[in-house]
Amino acid sequence: MVSNKYVLLIVLLVLLLIPLVFSNESEALIVNGGSSKVRVVVGYRDESSRQNLLRILGVSPMKEIRDLKVLVVEIPESLITRVKSLPGIRYVEKDVEARAFGISDYYGDIKWNMYMIGITDVWDYYYQYYGRYTFGRGVVVAVLDTGIDYTHPDLYGRVAYCIRTTGSTTYRGTSLSNCMDRNGHGTHVAGIIAATINGAGVAGVAPNVTLIAVKVLYDSGSGSVTDIAEGIVEAVKAGAYILSMSLGSSSDSSVLRDASNWAYQQGAIQVVAAGNSGDGNPSTNNVNYPARYPWVIAVAAVDSNGNTPSWSSDGPEVDVAAPGVNILSTYPNKKYAYLSGTSMATPHVTGVVAVIEAMRYAAGKSWLGFDAIYKVLTSTAYDLGSPGFDVYTGYGLVDAYSAVQYALSLP
């Protein structure tokens, strides 16, 4: 027979073990809950409740912020309510996903073409490092065209200087009315480069650049190669080392060739429209001048799907492509308009070049001349169509983000 003393001892042991049995059962319920696990933030009141929480959960915290009395743990979602009821717990909530708010999240004036060339990725990622330089600050771009409506709300304050070579006398100065655009073409081009990001209208690729309006074409939209050649020289002399030329001629010209080559020798980067003379025949070269010159960047057009429109000039001189079909941009008299052409594709590339140079300057690096910029743009372009170079899109769609990455990696 078992003595009363042993019976009493057994009863006492059972009573002592009951809380542990139930406690272990509770722990098993929390750790091994049936639903999928989620990351939660648990706020506790004091060190005692922290220790109790860790003991009951039976898991190591993924993160702990002692100053805020917070633990981050992973538990079954079905047990969140149970954890909330534990003593000393202030709150339990899911550790929801967060993301950086980019520039492009805020403004409705950023259209599809900006996303397509990847400039929005440049703004969103690099702004934290380079600020306004991410938008081309400190860089001067000359727009050789029909002039610019400098009073347009999206371009106001961007045009700093005027050069007019049309007519019998050449004007150079800050009286911008001498370069007023009464055609629309030049203002449209300027907007693609430099329209302000302000939530209204449209946004340009490099909205912080300084523009020089170089009126080399009459209000009719045409002019002489001599006026264009003079405009090239005067723009470089005025301090513009990025020239955007959405113009051209089917015939070569000695004076145009000499002026363009002179600008190249001075270190200028010329971005030129390939032309709108495409015929769809890869064996026919219909690229215009000065886009045919080897020291310029010749730009073809693609639509929003990356397809080449039939009218975009093709030939072995085409270097890259950019959006050029139904592009919304600034237009005279505070208006906006949709236009198509390699004229619209060209300023996209011009803007990318301006952003690259501005960000290199901000990084304490030297100016990239034509040869280096050419390599940056062509080696990072997004290949379209059949693999490799083709006469329709050159090396592919300009990729601003990849180009900036590469350019910043250079000494």
CB atoms within 10 A of CB 199: 11
The per-residue pLDDT for range 241-290, each reduced to its tens digit, is: 999 999 999 999 999 999 999 999 999 999 999 999 998 888 889 999 99
Question: Would 4 be classed as within a structural domain?
Answer: no
Rounded to an integer, the average pLDDT of 205-226 is 96
The per-residue pLDDT for range 378-411, each reduced to its tens digit, is: 999 999 978 999 999 999 999 999 999 999 999 9
Give Cβ neighbours of residue 231 (< 8 Å, ≥ 6 apart). Answer: 142, 144, 163, 165, 214, 215, 216
Strand partners, 89: 44
Rounded to an integer, the average pLDDT of 47-64 is 85
Domain identity same for 221 and 350: yes
> Which residue stretches of 32-118 are H helix?
47-57, 80-84, 112-116
Question: Would 388 be classed as within a structural domain?
Answer: yes
Structural domains counted in the chain: 2
CATH number of residue 79's parent domain = 3.30.70.80
Domain identity same for 273 and 334: yes
Boundary-marking domain end, from 65, 98, 131: 98
> Which residue stretches of 252-341 are H helix?
254-265
Strand partners, 243: 142, 270
Instruction: Name the DSSP class of 406.
Output: H
Range of the domain at 40: 32-98
Domain identity same for 204 and 57: no
Domain identity same for 205 and 146: yes
Residue 189 has pLDDT above 60, yes or no: yes
145, 149, 181, 319: the active-site residue: 145
Domain identity same for 316 and 355: yes
Domain identity same for 59 and 168: no
Active site residue 152: no
Domain identity same for 72 and 171: no
Active site residue 185: yes
Boundary-marking domain end, from 47, 75, 98: 98
Question: Would 289 be classed as within a structural domain?
Answer: yes
- Terminal Cα-to-Cα distance of the chain (whole angstroms): 94
% of residues, the chain, pLDDT over 90: 72
Tokens for 140, please give them: 């001067």
Question: Would 22 be classed as within a structural domain?
Answer: no
Q: Decide: pTM greater than 0.75.
A: yes
**353/367 Cα distance (integer angstroms):** 11
Q: At what angle are helices 185-194 and 342-362 packed, to 10 degrees?
A: 30
Nearest to 141 by CA among 323, 348, 382, 375: 348
The per-residue pLDDT for range 4-26, each reduced to its tens digit, is: 554 444 444 444 443 333 333 33
Domain identity same for 39 and 174: no
Residue type, 372: A
In contact, 231 and 216? CB cutoff 8 Å: yes
Q: At what angle are helices 47-57 and 4-31 packed, to 10 degrees?
A: 90
Question: Would 167 be classed as within a structural domain?
Answer: yes
Domain identity same for 151 and 266: yes
Tokens for 101, please give them: 């708010």
Domain identity same for 281 and 355: yes
Task: Report CA-CA distances (Å) from 312 to 114, 341, 347, 378.
Answer: 20, 7, 15, 19
Residue 107 has pLDDT above 90, yes or no: no
Boundary-marking domain end, from 46, 64, 98: 98
Domain identity same for 138 and 157: yes
Specify the pLDDT at position 28: 38
Specify the pLDDT at position 273: 97
Specify the pLDDT at position 171: 98
Nearest to 274 by CA among 285, 259, 263, 260: 285
Question: Would 331 be classed as within a structural domain?
Answer: yes
Instruction: Name the DSSP class of 398.
Output: -
Specify the pLDDT at position 6: 46
Domain identity same for 57 and 163: no
Question: Would 63 be classed as within a structural domain?
Answer: yes
Task: Report CA-CA distances (Å) from 12 to 5, 36, 129, 196, 239.
Answer: 11, 40, 69, 82, 96
Give Cβ neighbours of residue 279 (< 8 Å, ≥ 6 apart). Answer: 286, 310, 314
CATH number of residue 185's parent domain = 3.40.50.200
Dihedral of the CA atoms 276, 291, 358, 377 (nearest 10)? 90
121, 152, 185, 340: the active-site residue: 185
Question: Would 341 be classed as within a structural domain?
Answer: yes
49, 244, 313, 343: the active-site residue: 343
Specify the pLDDT at position 35: 59
